Amino acid sequence: MMPDISIILETLLIVVKAFIVTMVLFVMPLPLTWLERKIAGHIQVRLGPWRVGPHGVLQPFADMIKLILKEDILPYKADRFLFVLAPVLSMVPAFAVYAAIPFGESFKIPGIEREMTLYLTDMNVGVLYILAVSGLGVYGMIFGGWASNSKYALLGGLRSSAQMISYEIALSFASIGVVMMANSLSLVDIVKAQGGSLLNWNIFYLPVGPIWFAVFMIGGFAESSRIPFDLPEDEGTLSSGFHTEYSGMKFAFFMLAEYIAMVTISVLSVIMFFGGWNAPFNIPLPIPPIFWFVGKVAFFIYVFMWVRFTLPRYRYDQLMNIGWKILIPVSLVNILLTGFMRIG
Amino acid sequence: MPFTYLPVLVMIGLATAMAIGALFMSFIFRPRNPYREKLSPWECGMEPVGEANRGHFRVHFFIIAILFIVFDVETLFLFPWATILTEKGLSMFVFVEMIIFIAVLALGLIYAWVKGALEWV
């Protein structure tokens, strides 16, 4: 039996789209590392990368070549299988999250009369899928920390996993708040519910919207282990945390996962609170929706870097206090408040 | 909807292929010069003492893991509730129900708090 031609075409389209998304994500850390170091430089009144290429733009390529050419060190005490598996295990879920993320609505391809959607799939459990899959990244961290058989790595791995699971609860609560406002778990529906104008965005659903956004952002900073919550990589006490023993390409995978996590949190905050690809006003200009989406995401990535070079790092007990004693009670109260507003 | 979950598989496959490809690239180009001192676990330049992954860790991490399971399952129960909240005729009933559910959980959190499970120092 010959399968239908449209089914083949559909599958091919999915593969092509997935390939493009994967490629973009794979090279994304190159501009981001350059940007981060440049922003760091200018915030601290110095130049940042300067030597390789004009304004140091070729620096990330030099770094990439260096990482490929680095010797791969496998400590003799390490658990060989898990040591190799851990970086891959922390990288792959970071990519898999993007299967459910909508970058825009569908558009007509000019020439042939065919609709093309700007997302891989519109799951009816999108939010749940993203929370579940991004949670899998913890395994990479804890395996990496344990398999290294090094004291710093083990402590870093334990700290990372405790931090990730603590703040995942806050992150889920904030997602529940958004689901309550949109009445759907599908990310496309969540964005569509915020259409129209600026005032329909979830962040402006007063008074609970900003509180949910604050909970989500604090949880997101902790989930992507960025300053002020980068305790797993606290170089003062733990040298480099769970990836102390890693070098070369395996180290690069952990870094890749971290940068993609940062982008994921930015993308999710745009989709959940800032109207996704919706324009803030009804502008009569033919600006494509993807422009708004990318612009908003770029802004949030900048905020991540801005915060990194502005704030100091929390202590570990402070981190746990914020997660369990502030964010969770606030979320519980806020859920009741949101529910009351929704049915009232 | 036969294609809803296919992209997930495709995405995982592509990401794994990329990871293996990058590891293979580095396998071809990287130098190899291992010796015992280089391969020892990093302990600030001292001789490594003992085994690290014998399973000695602070029991507090375990308590946090247990609390996490309780609260994560709770959030899972909240998701279906959140989607049907504004449905007609149902909303008041599920809302009151959820107040009771959240109250019970808040009680659990308060209990853990009073017992000192959330203290780190």
A166/chain B closest Cα distance in angstroms: 7
Average pLDDT of span A326-334: 92
Residue A113 has pLDDT above 80, yes or no: no
Give me the residue from B7, B53, B75 closest to A18, CB to CB: B7
ω before A87 within 30° of 0 (cis)? no
Contacts of A185 in chain B (CB under 8 A): 79, 83
Average pLDDT value over all residues in chain A: 87
Q: Of A72-86, A289-303, B33-47, which gets the smallest average pLDDT?
A: B33-47
Contacts of A19 in chain B (CB under 8 A): 14
**pLDDT, position A2:** 61
Q: Which helix (H) or strand (E) holds A114?
A: strand A114-116
| Matching residue, tokens 């990496």 | A144
Residue A95 has pLDDT above 70, yes or no: yes
Ramachandran region, residue A196 (left: φ > 0; alpha: ψ -120 to 50; beta: rest): left
Q: Which of B55 and A270 is assigned the larger pLDDT? A: A270
A188-242 pLDDT, tens digit each = 989 988 887 788 888 888 888 899 999 999 999 998 888 888 877 777 778 778 8
A105: tokens are 């609505």
Average pLDDT of span A25-37: 90
Average pLDDT of span A161-176: 90
A113/chain B closest Cα distance in angstroms: 21
Helix, strand, coil tally for chain A in percent (to 5): 70, 0, 30
Q: Which of A306 and A198 is assigned the larger pLDDT? A: A306
Q: Which is nearest to A300 in space by CA: A267, A337, A251, A338?
A: A267
Between residues 280 and 339 of chain A, which touch chain B (CB distance below 8 Å)? Answer: 316-317, 320-321, 324-325, 328-329, 332, 335-336, 339
CA distance A248 to A30: 16
Give the range with max mean pLDDT: A197-201, B34-38, B112-116: B112-116
CA distance A102 to A124: 13
Between residues 45 and 64 of chain A, which touch chain B (CB distance below 8 Å)? Answer: none
Q: Which helix (H) or strand (E) holds A8?
A: helix A5-27
B55-96 pLDDT, tens digit each = 678 888 888 888 888 888 888 888 888 888 877 777 788 888
**pLDDT, position A219:** 92
**pLDDT, position A39:** 92
CB contact under 8 A, A176 and B105: no
Residue A266 has pLDDT above 90, yes or no: yes
Q: By the CB < 8 Å criterion, does B96 face chain A?
A: no
Residue A303 has pLDDT above 90, yes or no: yes
CB contact under 8 A, A340 and B95: yes
Q: Chains A and B: how many Cβ contacts under 8 Å?
A: 218
Give me the residue from A21, A71, A121 closest to B31, CB to CB: A71
**pLDDT, position A300:** 93
Between residues 174 and 213 of chain A, which touch chain B (CB distance below 8 Å)? Answer: 176, 179-180, 183-185
Q: By the CB < 8 Å criterion, does B71 face chain A?
A: yes
Q: Which of A286 and B107 is assigned the larger pLDDT? A: B107
Average pLDDT value over all residues in chain B: 85
